[in-house]
Amino acid sequence: MLNQIAVPTITAAGDAGSGAGGTANTYGVISGNVVGVHVAFGGTSTTGDIAVTTQHSPAGTVLTLTDYTAGTVWYYPRVLTNTTAGGTVDFADGKGVYEPIPVCDHVKVTLLQVEPAETLDVTLMVQT
């Protein structure tokens, strides 16, 4: 089953060009595989840095966008699959096998390097 989970809107604060945007938690613990991340960046900044991570230690990265310029885009992040022994799983041609990102934690969204009052909306598509 796929669920869409909207993270509350983030509004950047701080000085021009270095707005340390707020952070937001989901409505509870996300438990499942993140198969998609919808990012809607609104404002006048030419670029911004966006990070979607898990909140608690060890923190895991779901999506990182540096110098992001697009308005509204879906991303489909993946991680390299590992064996139970810790090695990577490869196809016969040597290319890695990727899968959706497993998460069981609160998700933190950070918006940096933008003008004050810029906004960011993030929606997670989670397979449970």
Say what the pLDDT of residue 52 is.
93
pLDDT in tens, 91-107: 888 888 999 999 999 99
pLDDT greater than 90 at residue 62: yes
Residue with tokens 């999506």: 63
Across residues 71-79, what is the average pLDDT? 93
Across residues 9-21, what is the average pLDDT? 67
Contact (CB, 8 A) for 105 and 55: yes
- Confidence band, pLDDT 50/70/90 cuts, at residue 12: confident
Domain span at residue 114 reads 2-127
DSSP states along 38-65: EEEEESS-S-EEEEEEESSSSP-EEEEE
Cα–chain-centroid distance for residue 102? 12
Neighbouring-strand partners of residue 48:
68
Distances from the Cα of 30 to the Cα of 39, 46, 88, angstroms: 17, 31, 26
Contact (CB, 8 A) for 4 and 124: yes
- What's the whole-model pTM score? 0.84
- Helix (H) or strand (E) run with residue 4 in it: strand 2-11
Alpha-carbon torsion (63, 78, 7, 25), positive or negative: negative
CATH number of the domain that 96 lies in?
Answer: 2.60.120
pLDDT in tens, 16-51: 655 555 555 566 789 999 999 999 988 777 788 899
Name the DSSP letter for residue 77: -
Mean pLDDT of the chain: 85
The tally of domains found in the chain comes to: 1
